[in-house]
Structure formats: structure tokens, C-alpha cells
Amino acid sequence: MLSTKNAQVWRIATRSHFTADSARSPQTELVLLHAGQPWNEFHAREFLKNQSAINSNLRLPAFVHSTIANGKMMNDNIKGCISTYKNVPSLESQVEKLAARIEESLDTVVPEHGPFRVSRLFQFDEIPFAEKLKEIQSHRSQRYIFMPLYPHYSPADAETLLVEAAKIIEQNSSPIISGNRSIAGSRIEQNSDYSYDVHAVWRWDNHSILADYWSTKLKEVLPKLDGVVFAAPRKFSCAYGPVYASCERTMNQLGDVIPWRLGFYSSWDSFDLPAWKGVGSQVQKFQKSSELGKIAVVPITDVIETFDTIYTIPKKVEHLKNALVLRPDYESEKLVHGIAEIVKNLLLGRKDRQLEVACSPKKLTNLNIFLN
């Protein structure tokens, strides 16, 4: 039995869910999360300072984060990234175009959960994160699905973004009460009768989309390849199991016809330190079958163009004549339909409780709203 107070909350939430005008607001909204990228050196310094503060496990004075940012800014790699970035589509425009195509695909694949809307939410953007999330919630969708644009789960990327979104949601809403049970994933906005559900696609490296995506790119150049080096940021070097599995699945789709290795590199926003099994050294370990033979370098942890794919990785192997760097294609049909399939699986009830194991213990409380 519901108490009188709880029954009132439940009746309000139920009414809000099922009387929403679908012609005026989306039923389901997919929110694509990403850290974003700076547009110039001034913004790069602010980006790195904020990133240091967000990812720090300790409460440190602001000058410490400024010092860390200044230290990273001494790396010529950042200047090269920003200079090259002027000649390619911005990260914002890439994600907006991708979002529009995913929206069309979702309306076709699972129309019963539509109409759909796909939005982007960046940690570093012209509009602050909290303000942008408030704008997204003004769409009055019945269901929000948060999906980091990072296939592989990482505390520095996917976890940080999901935690930040979860904290804001918890501050501005309360869980719906059913009987004596609090349903963390069903929220009712404070001082309002608007209610909604929240979900998260916290990792998707184990879905076939990633192997399909990169194996398709490799097939285009396969006849001239002697081998493949998959490139991953140094942060995965101590826990590379999921990344290694993605590499195996990708090569399996090609019939394992050529050898491959996994190499690591220092990403643009980290200190440029020597990496264990660096990308360049891994390319050099392959024996050339001919003067024309190439070694493909694949940024396996990326699906859209970033500073690392346009500059950092190519820079690591530019002195190697046999290295052929493949770059992500945000317009890929494989990517669009793959993300739509992942969202469809979630909407049809497929659950993944492994987030409880993967996330940092102290962050689990914040992520509870995504675990229902």
C-alpha cells in the first residue's frame, strides 16, 4: 500500500508520463556525451585546468591545476593539434550531423518509442554543462538516455561525464516512490508535475558495432597491408582487456589474415611521456614483405575525429614510411545504425549491471540512477 503522501507523488508522476503530447515533445531523447575540445590555445589552457580539477581525487588549490595545465601547454603537440583542427570539421558539427542521422534511424528502428530527439552534451562547450542539460530537459522528454561517445569505459571520460550528469539530475529532481521502494531511475522534477526516466549506455565496446566499423575501414586497404597496429591512449595500458578484445573482434571479422599488435600513445591532453609498447615502436616491429607493404594504424578507441586522430597519432608515426593512419568516419552507416541498435536493445529491456563492477567505488552512489 502507498502512503497518502507517496500515492500523491505516484499519481502526479503517472499523469505526467502518459498525458505528454507526443506531437510537441519527444518521447525518448538520446544525449551524446563528450568532453569536447578547445578551439584555440587560450581555451586549451582553461580546458586542461578544468579537466585537472574534475579528475583529481583530492581537493587541491586552484593554482595546482593551473600549474598542471601550464605544464601540459609546454607540449608542442597541443599547438599542432589546434593548428590542424582549423582544417577539419569541428567536433561540434561532427556530432550534430551524427545526431541528426541517428535520430532518423531510431524513428525507423523503434518507432513505438518515438518520436526521438538526439542532443549533444559536452563538458567543454560554449554553453556550460549544467545549463545545457537544463536546456535539454526543457524538451520535456519522457525518457533520457545518456551515451558517452567513448566506446570503452574509462574513469577519466565516460565515468566523469555520467557522474556529472547524474549529480545535476539528483539536485533538480527526486526519485519516484512506489510502495516502500524508491525508484532512482524514475525522476520527478522539483516543484513540478513533470516526471521522466533516465538510462545510460555506459560502454559499447562489446557490441559488434566497433568491430564492424573498423573492419569495414580496413577492408578498403587490406590488399596492401602487411599488418595492423591498433592505437589506444596510454590510460588504457594498465587495463587493456576490453580494448584488446575489440582488436581481436575486428581482426576476426577480417578472417585473421594478417598479424596485428596493440600500441599505446600519450593523448593530446596528457603529458607526453614514453608509452609502454608505443605505437611507433609497434609499427617498427613488423617485418616488411615488400617495399610497398603498409602497416595500418587504427585508433580503435575513437569513432569521431579528435585531436588525437588528426594530429597526435599521425605525428607519432610520421617518420615511418610504411605507416598508414586510418581516420574515423562520423558519417559511416555502420556507426549510425550501430548506435541505433544499441539504443533499441536498451529500450527493449536489455540490462547491463556490470557498471557496478567497473566504476570507481566512490562514484557508484552518484551512478545509482542509471542502475535500475
What pLDDT is attached to residue 372?
63
- Per the CB < 8 A criterion, the answer to whether 172 and 228 are in contact is no
Strand order in the sheet with 195-200: 116-122, 28-34, 143-148, 195-200, 181-189, 173-178
Q: What's the rounded Cα separation, in Å, for the pair 196 and 355?
A: 22
**What mean pLDDT is reported for the chain?**
86
Q: What's the rounded Cα separation, in Å, for the pair 35 and 11?
A: 38
Interval 289-333: pLDDT, tens? 666 789 999 999 999 999 999 999 999 999 999 999 999 998 899
- Band (195; pLDDT cuts 50, 70, 90): very high
Helix axes 41-55, 62-73, angle to 10 degrees: 130
Question: What topology is assigned to 4-36+90-203+352-370 in CATH?
Answer: Rossmann fold (3.40.50)
What pLDDT is attached to residue 19?
35
Interval 136-179: pLDDT, tens? 999 999 999 999 999 998 888 898 999 999 999 999 999 998 88
Sequence-ordered strand ranges (E) for 167-245: 173-178, 181-189, 195-200, 225-233
pLDDT(6) > 80: no
Cβ burial of 206 (10 Å; 0-12, 13-18, 19+) is: middle
- Per the CB < 8 A criterion, the answer to whether 260 and 227 are in contact is yes
Interval 242-285: pLDDT, tens? 999 999 999 999 999 999 999 999 999 988 887 778 999 999 98
Residue scoring higher pLDDT (209 or 68) = 209
Question: What's the N-to-C CA distance of the chain in angstroms?
Answer: 22
Q: What's the rounded Cα separation, in Å, for the pair 121 and 82?
A: 21
Q: What's the rounded Cα separation, in Å, for the pair 197 and 26?
A: 13
Q: What's the rounded Cα separation, in Å, for the pair 170 and 211?
A: 36
Distant-in-sequence contacts of 246-252, Cβ < 8 A, 24+ apart: 246/151, 246/152, 246/205, 246/210, 246/211, 246/300, 247/300, 249/208, 249/210, 249/211, 250/210, 250/211, 250/214, 250/215, 250/218, 250/298, 250/300, 251/215, 252/211
Q: What's the rounded Cα separation, in Å, for the pair 162 and 171?
A: 14
Q: What's the rounded Cα separation, in Å, for the pair 358 and 102?
A: 27
Interval 108-140: pLDDT, tens? 999 999 899 999 999 999 999 999 999 999 999
Instruction: Name which of 80, 120, 82, 83 is nearest 100 in CA terms.
Output: 120
Element (H, E) at 110: none
- Identity at 366, one-letter amino acid code: N
Q: What's the residue count for the chain?
A: 372
- The CATH architecture assigned to 208-325 reads 3-Layer(aba) Sandwich (3.40)
Same fold, 4-36+90-203+352-370 and 208-325: yes
Contacts of 216 (CB under 8 A, 6+ apart): 332, 334
Average pLDDT over residues 103-110: 95
Q: What's the rounded Cα separation, in Å, for the pair 253 and 213?
A: 11
Element (H, E) at 144: strand 143-148
For the chain, the structural domain boundaries read 4-36+90-203+352-370, 41-85, 208-325
Q: What percent of the chain has pLDDT over 70?
A: 88
What pLDDT is attached to residue 12?
33
